[in-house]
Chains A and B, each alone.
Chain A
Amino acid sequence: MTSPVAEPILRVGELVKHYGAGRGNVVHAVDGVSLSIGPGEVLGLVGESGSGKSTVGKCILRLTEPTSGTVSLVGRDITHLSRRALRPLRRDVHIVFQDPYSSLNPRFTIGQIVAEPLRRHRIARGGEAARQVTAMLERVGLGAETLSRFPHELSGGQRQRVSLARALILEPKLVVADEPVSALDVSVQASVLNLITDLQRDMGFSCLFITHDLSVVEFLADRIAVMYLGRIVETGPTAEIFAAPRHPYTQALLSAAPVPDPVKQRRRRRVVLSGEVPSPLDPPPGCRFHTRCPVAVDRCRTEVPELRDLRLGDHPVACHLVTTDHVPDATATATAGE
C-alpha cells in the first residue's frame, strides 16, 4: 500500500457496507475498500453514482455503521467506539455535504450554525464565539452581515461556504467533502473549488474529496482512487492516472471526459461502455467490471482481481490484464471520435 512519510490521518481497511433490502436481498454498497490519506493530502474518490463512494464517506464519520472493516483516525481505530467515546474525536473530522439546501438547519441563523461546533466542544461561547465565527466566515468569503441571516436568504454557493465554515471552524485534521460543488452552477463551482484549494493550503487539513467529476479532482487532488460498484479499481497520483490510466474502467472514464481543445477532442478515441452499471443487489462474479469491459477475458468472469501494484510506482490496479510488462488498452477497441 501507500507509505506516506508520517502516520496517515485516515486509514480505512477492508471496509464493507451491506444494506438489507428486504426479502433477504442485500445491497453491496461498499465491498472491501482500503485507502489511506496522509497529513495535508487530498485524495479524490471518483466513481459513478451508485459506486458506493458516498457510503465510504458516511462510514468514515460513523454516520452509518460499517458492516465490517476498520476506520482509523490519526492511528486510532474508531470503528467500534461508542457514540459517547467518539464524541471528542469528532473535533478532528468534519463533512461537507452535496445539497446546499438540506445541509443547514433552516431554524438557525448562519451565526448559530457556524458556532454549533464551538459550543458543542466547549471551545468558545458568547463574544469569543462571535469573534471566531466572524473570522471564519470572512475566510470563506462571507461578510459579518451574514451572521444574522437565515439559510433561506442565501444562494446555493453562499450556503456551501457556510457549510465549509462550519466544517473548518474547529480546524479539523480531516475534511470529507461529499460532492461539495456538484449541486452548484458551473461559475459558482469554480469559485468554491478555488476557495477549498486555498483553505486546504492555508490550514493544511487532509481531505477526502468525493466526486463523480474527473475534471474537479484533476484540479485539486494529490491522489485519486477510482471506485466501481463498491470496490476501488485503481488508485495513484493524480498526474499519473490522468497521463497513463491502467484499468480499462479508468481509461473509459477519462476518454469520456471532454478535452477543451476541439482539434484534440475530435482526434480522441472514445470508449463507449455498453449497458448500465449492474445492480449492487447482485454484483457480477469475478471482476465487477467484466460485464462492460471491452477487453475482458474468461478469467475476469470468475476470479476477483486484487488491487495490486505489479509495476513501479505507487499505482495499484485491480485488473488481471495488468502485468509487469502489459497494460490493457480499452481505447484500442474504440473508434475515433465523431
Chain B
Amino acid sequence: MAEKTHPPEPIVRWNSGRADRRRRLWRRFRRRPMPMIGLTLVVAFLVLAVFGPLVSGDPSAQDYLATLMPPSIDHPLGTDDLGRDAFARVASGARTSLQAGVLSTLLAMAVGIPIGLAAGFYRRWLDSIVMRLVDVTLAFPFLVFAVGLAAILGPSLRGVVLALSFAQLPAVIRITRGEVLAIREMDYVSAAIADGATDGHILFRYILPNSAGPLIVQATVAIPTAIIGEATLSFLGLGVQPPTPSWGVMLSDAQQYLDQAPWLAIWPGLLIALATLGFNLLGDGLRDVLDPRSGP
C-alpha cells in the first residue's frame, strides 16, 4: 500500500494522446496475471507457427522404417503412421490451424460488426432485411453451413477461411445489433445527438466501445470453434489437402492409432486446448482493460 501515501498528482491534461492511452492500457494489462498468461500462450503459438517449420524439417518427409515411434531424441514428439515427424507436423500445422481460427474470426468481425452497427442504428428496412437473412442462416447448424460453403468454395486453406468466417457472420451481426439496440437508448447517446454529433462519431466513439465486451467474448469463443471447424472440413476432404498438416487433421488421423500411439492424438489435442485457453484469457483481459469500470 505504499502507493497510497502519495498525494493525488494534479492533472492538467486528461486528453492524453493515443500513445499515452496505449501506455496506460498496457500498464493495466500487465498488472493482471491471467491475461498475461493468455498473451504469452498466444505469442508462443505465433512464434511456433512462424519459426517452427524453419527448424523442424520437412513435415511431409516419410520414413517407413520409423512409423508410429514414441518420442525419442530424433523425433521429440514421435512419428505417425507414415513415419513423419510429429513435431514438424505440429509446427507446420500451427500455421494452418491459427490461420483458419484467427483469420476467419477477424474477417467475420470486420464484416459483421459494421453490418450489425448499421442494422441496429438505422433500423427500418435495412434491419428487417439483414435480420431475416441472419435468422435464415442461423437455422443451419454452424458446421453444416460451413461444409456447404466449403464445398462451393473448393478445397483449400483460403476456402476454409472464407467458409468458416461466413458461417460465423450471422452470430457476429446478431450480437452487435443487440448491443446497438440497448446502447442507443442510453441518455449519453441522446446527449451526443443533442450536441450535434455525426452518426459516425456516435457509432464508433459511443456505441462500439460500449459493446466491445460481448464482441471480444464472442471472438475468443469463435477462434477455437473455427480451429475445430477446420479439422472437420479437412477430415471431410473439404479443407486443406494432404499432405499439408493441421492440428485438426492430425487429431482425426490419430484416432485410428489411439491404442498404439496415443501421443499422436495428445499433441494436437493439447495444442488446441492451450490455444483455446490462451485466446480466452487474452480476450477476457482485453475486455477488462478496455473497460474503465474494471478497476486499476
Binding site for B on A (CB under 8 A): 58, 61, 63, 86-88, 90-91, 93-95, 97-99, 102-107, 109-112, 115-117, 120-121, 126-127, 129-130, 144-145, 147-148, 150, 152, 163, 166
Do A152 and B292 touch across chains, with their CB atoms under 8 A apart? Answer: yes
Known contacts A115-B15, A129-B15, A148-B14; A90/B195 CB under 8 A: yes
Q: Are B187 and A103 in contact (CB under 8 A)?
A: yes
Within 8 A of A (CB), among B244-265: none
A-B contacts, 14 of them at CB < 8 A, read A88-B196, A93-B194, A94-B195, A97-B191, A102-B186, A103-B191, A104-B188, A107-B210, A109-B14, A116-B195, A126-B15, A145-B8, A147-B11, A166-B191
CB-CB contacts of B168-194 with A at 8 A, as 1s and 0s?
000000000000000000111011111
Given the known inter-chain contacts A106-B293, A120-B195, please indicate yes or no for A97 contacting B187, CB distance below 8 A: yes
Q: Which residue of B lies closest to A118 (CB)?
A: B195
Return the CB mask of B189-221 against A: 1 if under 8 Å, else 0. Answer: 011111111000100001001100000000000
Residues of chain A within 8 A of B193, CB atoms compared: 61, 63
- Contacts A117-B195, A145-B10 given; does A106 touch B292 at CB 8 Å: yes
B13 at the interface (CB under 8 A from A): yes
Collect the chain A residues with CB atoms within 8 Å of residue B65's CB.
Answer: none
| Residue B139 CB within 8 A of the other chain | no
Within B1-40, the residues touching A (CB, 8 Å) are: 8, 10-15
* Inter-subunit contact B187/A99 (CB<8 Å): yes
Cβ A94 vs Cβ B194 within 8 A: yes
What 11 additional pairs, Cβ within 8 angstroms, besides A111-B14, A120-B195, A147-B11? Answer: A90-B195, A91-B196, A94-B195, A97-B187, A97-B191, A102-B186, A102-B187, A102-B188, A103-B187, A116-B195, A126-B15
Q: For residue B201, which residues in chain A have a CB less than 8 angstroms away from its CB?
A: 120
CA distance A117 to B292 in the complex (A): 22
Q: How far is the CA of A86 from the CA of B11 in the complex (A)?
A: 36
List, in ascending order, chain A residues with CB within 8 A of B291's CB. Answer: 106-107
Q: What 8 pairs between A and B have smallest CB-CB spacing?
A: A111-B14, A90-B196, A103-B187, A87-B196, A97-B187, A150-B292, A147-B14, A105-B188
A interface secondary structure, majority: helix
Contact between B15 and A111, CB atoms less than 8 A apart? yes
- Distance (whole angstroms) from the CB of B11 to the closest CB of chain A: 5
Q: B195 — which chain A residues lie within 8 A by C-beta?
A: 90, 94, 116-117, 120
Contacts of A87 in B (CB 8 A): 196
Question: Which residues of B lie under 8 Å from residue A145 when comparing CB positions?
Answer: 8, 10-11
Q: How far, in angstroms, from A98 to B187 measured CA to CA in the complex?
A: 9
Cβ-defined contact, A95 with B15, below 8 A: no
Q: Which residues of chain A are near B192, meaning CB under 8 Å?
A: 105, 116
Nearest A residue to B293, CB-CB: A152
Q: Is the beta-carbon distance between A63 and B194 smaller than 8 angstroms?
A: yes
Given contacts A105-B206, A166-B191, contact A150 B8 (CB under 8 A): no
Residues of B within 8 A of A91 (CB): 196
Residues of A within 8 A of B14 (CB): 109-112, 130, 147-148
A63: chain B residues at CB < 8 Å are: 190, 193-194
With a cutoff of 8 Å between Cβ atoms, the chain A residues found around residue B210 in the complex are 105-107
Asked if residues B292 and A148 are in contact (CB atoms below 8 Å), the reply is: no
**A61–B193 Cα gap in the complex (Å)?**
9
- Give the residue name and chain of the A residue nearest to B208 (CB): A107
Residues of B within 8 A of A58 (CB): 190
B138 → chain A closest CB, angstroms: 25
CB pair A95–B194 under 8 Å, yes or no, is yes
Can you name the residue of chain B whose Cβ is closest to the Cβ of A109?
A: B14
**B contact residues around A88 at 8 Å (CB):** 196
Q: How far is the CA of A152 from the CA of B295 in the complex (A)?
A: 10
**Also in contact, A95 and B11, with CB within 8 A (given A102-B186, A120-B197):** no
Nearest A-chain residue to B206, judged by Cβ:
A105
Our pick among B13, B197, B292 for the contact of A130 (Cβ within 8 Å) is B13
- How close is A83's CB to chain B, nearest CB, in angstroms? 8
A91 and B195 CA atoms in complex are apart in Å by 7
Return chain A residues, CB-CB under 8 Å to B190. Answer: 58, 63, 95, 97
Separation of A102 and B186 alpha carbons in the complex (Å) = 6
CB-nearest residue of chain A relative to B11? A148
Closest to A133 in B: B14
Asked whether, in the complex, the Cβ of B292 is within 8 Å of the Cβ of A107, the reply is yes
